[in-house]
Amino acid sequence: MKPAPFAYRRPGTLDDAVAALAGEPDAKVLAGGQSLVPLLSMRLAAPSMLVDINGVPGLDSVEVDDDGVRVGALARHAAVLASDDVRRVQPLVPLALAHVAHATIRNRGTTVGSLVHADAAAEMPVVLRLLGGSLDVVGPAGRRTIPADELYVGPLESSVRRDEIAVSAFFPALRDGAGVAFEEIARRNGDYALVGAAALVDGDSVTVGYLSVADVPTVVDLTGVPDDDLGDAALAQLDPADDIHASAAYRAQLVRVLTARVVRSARVSRQARQPEGS
């Protein structure tokens, strides 16, 4: 199937891109296109215009400092994954990115695009939520920052407004002495996960984020829960559903297994990051 007809604009500045998007109510932003183009081809999306932001300079940056990692809207998954500085400052980002589809997709797909697509089966939205990150967007009213806890409002639905362009995402640095882990189960390498889990252990705090379990990326607090009860405690705050890929009962079992596994791995990660002699 071919996409429905649409107009195409490739602005050279961010201001022009915002103006083009605001001037066409049914326009969509094109960055990596790894989610949007298949939707166009299947006619699940039929925008009147594509605003291609690949001609806007400065949006492909990956900036790392002691506070965290800032990923520009045009930074490809592969570039973020390859950064030693990202791995050092926030290792959960590359741990999750290594599970994103296949190398070909990672070479073209953008991390920010994945966040805005708001797929609860994708890896990066749950990472942003677990870490308490944020998304910066620019629209006719100016620039604003959306905390991760306010970003996902429903299935494939974010709080980014129709006339706003996401320009960067911020992932806070991993604190000294904290540990992280990520695992997922998929039918085949590169497929969407049947269930995935990311853990953050920081002091006595234990939090775990889940993908492919709820309609939105979901984080649960498991602080103080005995190790033997971690999976059941997580399920008390989740509601796995049936679909064509897995039954609710199977997903629940995967939650039990992966929760214990990622919390254990995050604790090992924490020990490995402890300064010698501490």
pLDDT tens profile 155-190: 999 999 999 999 999 999 999 999 999 999 999 988
Same domain for 222 and 169? no
Q: Which residue, among 202, 187, 262, 269, has the nearest Cα to 231 in the 3D structure? A: 262
Q: Is residue 278 part of a domain?
A: no
Q: Which helix (H) or strand (E) holds 124?
A: helix 123-131
Q: Is residue 12 part of a domain?
A: yes
Cα separation of 232 and 230, whole Å? 6
Dihedral sign from CA coordinates of 209, 215, 216, 222: negative
Burial class for 104, CB neighbours closer than 10 Å (0-12, 13-18, 19+): exposed
- State which of 150, 174, 198 marks the end of a domain: 174
Summarised one tens digit per residue, pLDDT across range 214-232 is: 999 999 999 999 999 999 9
pLDDT of residue 254: 98
**Residue 215: which region, alpha, beta or left (left: phi > 0; alpha: psi -120 to 50)?**
alpha
Same domain for 131 and 235? no
User: In whole numbers, what is the pLDDT of the chain averaged over residues?
Assistant: 96
The share of the chain scoring above pLDDT 90, in percent, equals 95
Q: What is the domain range of residue 210?
A: 179-273
CB atoms within 10 A of CB 56: 24
Q: Which helix (H) or strand (E) holds 52?
A: strand 49-52
